[in-house]
Amino acid sequence: MGSFGSRGSFSPYGMKQDSAESLTVVSDEDPPAEERALVDQLSATRLFQDYRRAFEQATGLPLALRARKSFASAAERAEETTTRFCSLIGRTNFSCAQCLRVQESLEESAQLGSDTIRCFAGLCESAVPIRVGDEIIAFLRTGHVLLHKPSRAEFSRTTRQLLKWGSEINLKSLEEAYFQTKVFDQSQYEAVVCLLSTFAEHLGRVGECMELQAAAEEPTVVQEARAMIGERFAEHLTLPEAARAVNASTRYFCKVFKDATGLTFVEYLNRVRVEKARHLLRNPNLRVSEIAFEVGFESLSQFNRSFKRITGQTPSAFRNTQAAA
C-alpha cells in the first residue's frame, strides 16, 4: 500500500489499487450526532475556510473536510473536485458505486496516518485523519490527480472497464477531460499531503478546545437530555416528557436546548434516530419499515421525510448506494 507522511515512504507502484474484488469496508458504527456537529463547526471556522481557499489557489487541488464514514455522493464530489474527468465518470450508477468503494477503502487505510489510494482509472486520492484526543473524527481529502503523464493505453483500459460496467459516457468528452487531468510529480504531491498532515494536527487541537469549551458551557439539563436521548431514542419521547426528566419547565428547556445545540429537541432527536437508521440500513435483511419503527419513528412517511431532510437521500436510495458499493 502506498503511503507517506506518518505512514512511511510513498511508492506509486506499491500504492493500494482499488478494485471490485479486493476492498475492506469499514464496519464501525456511524459517528454520533455530537461528533458530526463538531466537524460541521470545524468546517465553518474561518481557519479552515481561509486555509482551503489558499490551498486550492496554490495547488490547484480540491480540499474537503468530511466526518468519518461520511462518504460523498457523485454529485457532492463533482462539486468538491476541480477534475472534470472525475465529474464525468461519477455520473453513472456503477461508477458512483466504485467511487464510494474508493472512499471507504481509503478511510480504512488512513486510520493510522495519511494515506493515498489509486482508483481504477489511475487517479490518486489522499486522506489525512483529524484526531480529537485519541479519536478520529474526520478526514481532510484531496487528490483526483495523476502521478504520471496520462497515456492512451491507460485511457483505453479505463474506457473498456466503464463499457464493461454498462456506463453511458461521451467518450470524446471523457478523453479530453482525461488528458487535461492535473499531473503532479511524486515528491511534489508528497509535500502537499505532508502540509495537510500538519494542518490536520492543528485542526485536531482546535477541535479539542471546542469540545472542552462546549462541555464547560453546556448547561446540566442539556447534558442530561443528550444522555437520555442516547439511551431512549427508540421510545416515544415528547418535549414535555424530556423537560420533566431533567427537572426543567418545558419553556426553559426548549430555549436552553436550542441555544446549546443549535437544534430543537425534535430536530436533535430525529438526527440521532437517523444516524442509528443509517447503520441499520446496511443490513439487507431488515425492511425499511422495520428500521423506521425500531429507531423510534411513528410512521414510515415521517421516517422518509426526516431521513431525506437530514441526509439528502431517501432511505431506499441510501441502501441501494451502500449495496452497490
Question: Higher confidence at residue 154 or residue 20?
Answer: 154
pLDDT in tens, 61-109: 999 999 888 765 444 554 555 578 877 776 665 666 677 777 788 888 8
Domain of 59, in residue numbers? 5-211
Residue 235 sits in the same domain as residue 293: yes
pLDDT in tens, 156-208: 998 888 888 777 788 898 999 999 999 999 999 999 999 999 999 999 999 99
Q: Which of 184, 211, 238 is the last residue of a domain?
A: 211
Order of all β-strands in the sheet with 135-145: 16-17, 115-118, 124-132, 135-145, 64-67
CATH number of the domain to which 278 belongs: 1.10.10.60
Residue 76 sits in the same domain as residue 191: yes
pTM summary value: 0.64
Residue 222 sits in the same domain as residue 202: no
Mean pLDDT of the chain: 83
Question: Higher confidence at residue 141 or residue 81?
Answer: 141
Residue 25 sits in the same domain as residue 174: yes
Q: Which of 178, 211, 244 is the last residue of a domain?
A: 211
| Tally of domains within the chain | 2
Share of the chain above pLDDT 70, in %: 83
Residue 224 sits in the same domain as residue 177: no
Cα–Cα nearest to 245, from 263, 261, 225? 225
Residue 186 sits in the same domain as residue 263: no
Indicate the pLDDT class of residue 5, thresholds 50, 70 and 90.
Answer: very low
Q: Which of 211, 244, 259 is the last residue of a domain?
A: 211
